[in-house]
Amino acid sequence: AQSVTQLGSHVSVSEGALVLLRCNYSSSVPPYLFWYVQYPNQGLQLLLKYTSAATLVKGINGFEAEFKKSETSFHLTKPSAHMSDAAEYFCAVKKGQTGANNLFFGTGTRLTVIP
């Protein structure tokens, strides 16, 4: 069964500091992994996705994530936090390429950026 675990339901960083949001996955087959962002009262916006190509994935808004099979991790990073990055972030996994396009989401990490 596919699942993801997000470590830390709340993360606070100072403006300009490194952002690191952690995600570990469990999958019996090569996974497709995603990071989504959700601003208050909004839907989900795709930040980036890993689909078995390059292990370092670059996304929008300066975010990137590295797929590490040995650690079953897909942590999200950004070198310098902006106030506009304050939001809820969700890691998600999808089983392979075929089948229903259903995503399994983690419980989310709320990022607070301190001025």
Could you say which of 29, 40, 41, 56 contacts other proteins (CB under 8 A)?
A: 41
Q: Which of 113, 23, 29, 3 is nearest to 74 (CA)?
A: 23
Quick one: which segment of 19-27, 57-65, 77-85, 91-99 binds other proteins (CB under 8 A)? 91-99
Binding of other proteins at residue 49 (CB under 8 A)?
Answer: yes
Is residue 34 within 8 Å of residue 40, measured between CB atoms? no
- Of 17 and 44, nearer to other proteins (C-beta) is 44
Query: What gap in Å lies between CA 45 and CA 67, rounded to an integer?
Result: 20
Which residues are CB-contacts of 54 (< 8 A; sequence separation ≥ 6)? Answer: none
State the minimum distance, in angstroms, from the CB of residue 80 to other proteins.
27
Q: Alpha carbon of 43 to those of 46, 55, 72, 88, 113: distances in Å?
A: 10, 27, 27, 11, 21
Binding of other proteins at residue 32 (CB under 8 A)?
Answer: yes
Binding of other proteins at residue 5 (CB under 8 A)?
Answer: no
Quick one: which segment of 10-18, 65-73, 79-87, 99-107 binds other proteins (CB under 8 A)? 99-107
Q: Which residues sit at the interface with other proteins, rule CB under 8 A?
A: 32, 36, 41-46, 49, 51, 90, 92, 94, 97-108
